[in-house]
Amino acid sequence: MTKPMPAMTNEEFDQRFDNGEDIHTLVDLSQAVITKPGKKCRITIDVSQTLVDSIDRIRHQIGVDRGALIKVWLHERVQKELTRTNSQ
């Protein structure tokens, strides 16, 4: 029998995580699925310096690597497009 999860808002959960608290007891991992992203491929694109500067301003604000930010954005967009095309 699984232990009931304490009721809390997403904001409370995020705050506890951000504060470095151990959140493992707050998460039900029994339904967790590990996905493998597959073989990595390198792509090269040429973009304007203005675009790179804009990306760098954003990444500095949130404290992430440029490549990581671009990967997240690409993933989000692909998921959005897949959802849109699957619903048509």
Q: Check pLDDT > 50 for residue 1.
A: no
**Number of Cβ atoms within 10 Å of the Cβ of 83:** 9
Instruction: Indicate if the pLDDT at residue 15 is higher than 70.
Output: yes
Burial pattern 34-44, b for ≥16 Cβ within 10 A else e, equals eeeeeeeeeee
What is the average per-residue pLDDT within 2-10? 69
pTM check: above 0.85: no
